Structure formats: C-alpha cells, structure tokens
Amino acid sequence: MKKLLCVVLWLLPVMLFAQSPFDGTWKTNMAESKLSQKPYVYSVNNGMYDCESCVPKINSVKADGQDQPVTGQTYDTIAVQVVDANSIHITTKKAGKTVSDQTRTASPDGKMMTIAITNYPADGSQSYKVEVKLARASKGPAGSNATSGSWHIQNLNEDAAGLTSTWKGSGDGLSMSTGTGTGWEAKFDGKEYPVKGTYANETVSLKKLGDRSVEVTYKRDGKLYSIDKVTVAPDGKKMTTVADNKQTGRVSTFSDEKQ
C-alpha cells in the first residue's frame, strides 16, 4: 500500500500536467459563432479592381487575369479575371506559389454574393475549401460588376481541416496546431514566438488570464495584428475565442466544441 501511494504521488505532477483545460482537439461550430458585421467593400469597374476593406487597401489593380504586384498582404501578387457581369475569379500567389483561388458570384437579383475559396497551406498540406455567403449592404459604382459594393457576411462553411485545432497545455505555456499546417508553441512569459505554416512573418505571445483563459496576441511583420481571448467553459466541453483583429477593426466570436 505504501509503495502504491509513493507511485501515485510520483505520478501526480504528470497527471496535473495532462489536465490543462485546453488539452485536446477542438472543432469550430460556425452555427454558434458570431462573425463581425463590419462590411467588406469591393469594386470591379472600368477594368480595374479595388478592395477598400483590405488592409492595406488594394487600389487600381488591372482586372485582366494577369498577376499584378501588391504589397502588405500575405501574398505578393493578385490576378483578377472578370468571368461575366455577375462574377469574377481571383488568384493570389506568394513567391509564385498559389495561396488561394476564389470565385465571387452575385445572385441574379444582386442581393447576395457567394465566395467559393480554395486555400493552399504554406507547408504543402492538403488544400481546403471555404464558402462564404454575404448580403448586400450597398451597391457599387454604376456600370460596375455585380460583385462590387458593400457586403455583410451571413455565414461561412469550411472543410473540417480549417475548423479543427489541437491544443496542449504545459505548466508554463501552450501549443496549438491546425489541420491546415499552422501552429505555434509559446510560454506564458509575454515573449514572441514564431507561428509556423503561414505565408506571413507572424509571431505569437501568451498571457495567462486565469486557469481556463488566455490572451493570445499575434503580430505580423512586427505590427500588432490580432488579440484573441480564449476561454474554456467550466465543463471543459466548449472553448470560446473572441478574436479582435486590430488591423481590420473586426471583432468575431468563435465557439469550439471538444471532439
């Protein structure tokens, strides 16, 4: 009995180490999540593409289907092709490698728009698809492509890889990885640690807010990008992330469920 007790006491730190409320695989429930309603603003007019809601803004890019240079984005070229009066196709690349392909299609009445996106992870992981539905907030310039104007996001559907993340806690930090090859490992010391598997030069730092809550700060190229407050519910079944994107001014709340 005494020997057994010694073994249990010896294992206790390991058991506590494994009991971080963040530990496990989580999947975002988009039906329970609340996306920022700050509008997205695009325009394809007179052969030129503009993205007013991009950070930094993308202005006066030729919509001729050819790669055009851009700066300040996670990609360095963009190709915009007008498909017809109601749709356009966009390809972004980084150092010649495709980052994403997307088709934007406005409904015949012009009130809704669907964006079908294929993303290609930086680490070569399997591509994954995203479909976004948006409702028109305002019209674009007269005579512009029907995808032009101001839009509010309605819902988002994504392949499982893009919705799934695995977290693991330790006594002095956390690690996180996703099904799309993005991940990081950091300590609760406020220092910046590299984010792997992205097209950007990105870092992460952690601040412990409580036993079940952390603040995750992301920077891109040394500039503040986003501050996420991540909290696990007392029952350990739900994780809520309030993502405050400091560059775009969008605040969204994501609800993840333990798998």
Query: For residue range 63-86, what is the model confidence (pLDDT) as tens digits?
Result: 999 999 999 999 999 999 999 999
Residue of 55, 29, 34, 54 whose CA lies nearest to 251 = 34
pLDDT mean across residues, the chain = 93
137 is a domain residue: yes
Sheet of strand 183-187: strand arrangement: 183-187, 173-178, 164-169, 24-28, 250-258, 238-245, 223-232, 213-220, 202-210, 193-194
Peptide bond before residue 141 is cis, with ω within 30 degrees of 0: no
Q: Is 2:228 a contact under the CB 8 Å cutoff?
A: no
Rounded to 5 degrees, what angle do the CA atoms 201, 204, 208 make?
175
Per-residue pLDDT, 18: 53
Q: Is 238:256 a contact under the CB 8 Å cutoff?
A: yes
205 is a domain residue: yes
pTM above 0.95, yes or no: no
pLDDT category of residue 24 using cuts at 50, 70 and 90: very high
pLDDT category of residue 250 using cuts at 50, 70 and 90: very high
Residue of 80, 208, 53, 191 whose CA lies nearest to 134 = 53
Task: Tell me the per-residue pLDDT of 182-240, one tens digit each, with 9 for 90 and over.
Answer: 999 999 999 999 999 999 999 999 999 999 999 999 999 999 999 999 999 999 999 99
pLDDT at 6 over 80: no
135 and 45 inside one domain: yes
How many structural domains compose the chain?
2
Structure token pair of residue 210: 């409580």
Percent of the chain with pLDDT over 70: 93
Q: Which of 66-70, 122-126, 173-177 has the lowest mean pLDDT?
A: 122-126
- Final residue before a domain boundary, out of 108, 140, 160: 160
Per-residue pLDDT, 5: 37
- Final residue before a domain boundary, out of 160, 184, 204: 160
Taking residue 230's Cβ as centre, other Cβ atoms within 10 Å add up to 23
pLDDT at 12 over 60: no
- Final residue before a domain boundary, out of 160, 178, 195: 160
Q: Which domain holds residue 167?
A: 20-35+163-258
30 and 111 inside one domain: no
Per-residue pLDDT, 16: 43
- Token pair 């040394």 is at which residue? 222
Per-residue pLDDT, 170: 86
Question: Which CATH number do you get for residue 203?
Answer: 2.40.128.20
Average pLDDT of span 55-62:
96
| Cα→Cα distances 145→51, 77, 118, 135, 183, Å | 13, 21, 22, 16, 38
Give the N- to C-terminal CA distance of the chain in Å, as an integer: 37
Structure token pair of residue 17: 């180490």
